[in-house]
Structure 1
Amino acid sequence: MNESSPNPRFLNRRTMLRSMLVAAAAVPLAACSVTEDPLAKQARSGDNKNYIAGDGAVQEYLPEKRSEPIEITTETYQGTPIDLAALRGKPVVLNFWYAACAPCRIEAPHLKELSEDFGEDVPFIGVNVRDEAEASLAFERTFEIPYESVQDTDGQIQLAMTKYVPLQAVPSTLVLDREGRVRARVIGAIEKGTLKSLIDTALTEEL
């Protein structure tokens, strides 16, 4: 063998080491891709498949421009009775959502944190517009949502609220004042700071 020729065994070891380093470097990237929610990624990319999303636009209503108190009497997927009239004296947050809605997944951690921050002072209620119990409860477990949702697959609640929540505009969020009237709405995924400000105002405003 020519003395200047590379040693085949040395080349094999070097090739093996290079392959091992490339494989090791790829592991963290693979782990990251597995943990990212694909529907949330879809929403961030602007690909509005399977839902009609708003842009997070906020509208607030002066007391003299607000509707009559909202009346909803139903029960949650867990069987808990819901009567908005019994919650008068507190602001209430109503969030319209469904499990396969990509922006709903983006806003879910913010809703969780805010509902925990405000606690019993501000009840949160989800209004699920598409899902049966299994899908809804699985979503709540995945995102550790502390409040319960009511089923509105027949569209009765949405139809009664079309003045504020356009059909298929999901997610949408309403903040009711202490008298049960719609004080503010957000069409599209909420920003945590914005919704917190709306709730704070609903807690302290003079009616």
Structure 2
Amino acid sequence: MPSLHGTRRMAVAVTVATAVAVSGCTASDSLADQYRSGTGQGYISGDGAYTVIAEADRGEPIEFSGVIENGDTVSSDDYRGEVLVVNFWYAACPPCRLEAPDLEALAQQFEPDGVTFLGVNIYDQAPTAVSFAKEFGVTYQSILDVNSGSVRLAFAGEVAPNAVPNTLVLDRQGRVAARISGLISEPSVLRSMISDALAEAP
């Protein structure tokens, strides 16, 4: 059983650690600066864990295809040569609902640069997905992956099969360059990831 003195020292240590953590979150640097100064893997308070993969360390291009809300089929070949942002979601997922407006705003911001956003809905049928898009003003397409699960399988190793939300940035070759696991509560991190992928040589 720890002594009273030891308990007090532990409490002080916890207090100091908490103060350091809080000061790190409230420093003048933006979350984007925290992301850029990191080692490539980290965690920002209030956000999901993120991973940035150097060009030399990226895996093979992701190959996938699926049916979107209007019944058309899209595939990874449609996006080669573009930076592609893939968001795994479903309509009843609370964080998915929270981040939808931010994702749409970023999609609009980067559209002139040739960046495409693509949703992957893991649970819903077309009417529910379309209703969600209307409610939150989402204009980009989503693959309905509920029946086959083939898109989730294509991204196996990059994102857990049932983990939502999850957002990945694919480079122009179709390789995963960065990902955020969980809610995007601060869009500046994803914005920086997209900008970095755009800045890479074609």
TM range (shorter): 0.7 to 0.9
- The runs of 5 or more residues in structure 1 that have no matched partner are 1-53
- Does residue 86 (structure 1) correspond to residue 113 (structure 2)? The answer is no
Q: Is 1:123 paired with 2:128?
A: no
Change (3 A) 1:55 1:169: farther
Partner deviation per Cα, 1:17-66 (whole Å, 9 max, x = no partner): xxxxxxxxxxxxxxxxxxxxxxxxxxxxxxxxxxxxx9511101111211
Provide the rounded CA distance (Å) in 2 between the counterparts of 1:192 and 1:62.
21
Q: Does 1:192 align with 2:184?
A: no
SS at match of 1:197: helix
**What letter corresponds to residue 130 of structure 1 in structure 2?**
Y
Distance 1:105 1:165 in 2: 19
Alignment partner, residue 33 of structure 2:
none
The residue aligned with 1:174 is 168
Please, which of 129, 137, 144 is the counterpart of residue 137 of structure 2?
144
* Structure 2 equivalent of residue 48 of structure 1: none
Cα RMSD for the two superposed structures: 1.6
Name the % identity: 44
Q: What TM-score results when the alignment is normalised by the length of structure 1?
A: 0.70
Q: Which protein shows a greater Rg?
A: 1
- Separation (CA, whole Å) in 2 of partners of 1:198 and 1:128: 22
Identify which of 94, 103, 110 aligns with 1:102.
Answer: 94
- Superposed CA offset, 1:112-144 (max 9, x none): 100011115101000000001111111000001
* CA–CA distance in structure 1, aligned partners of residues 65 and 47 of structure 2: 30
**Separation in 2, partners of 1:103, 1:168:** 14
Q: Which of residues 35, 45, 58 is equivalent to 2:50? A: 58
1:203 matched residue in structure 2 = 198
Distance 1:155 1:74 in 2: 9
Off by >3 Å, runs of 4+ in structure 1? none
The CA distance in 2 between the partners of 1:89 and 1:159, in whole Å, is: 23
Residues 51-103 of structure 1: CA deviation (Å, up to 9, x unaligned): xxx95111011112111111122231113331222322110000000000000
Match for residue 164 of structure 1 among 136, 158, 161? 158
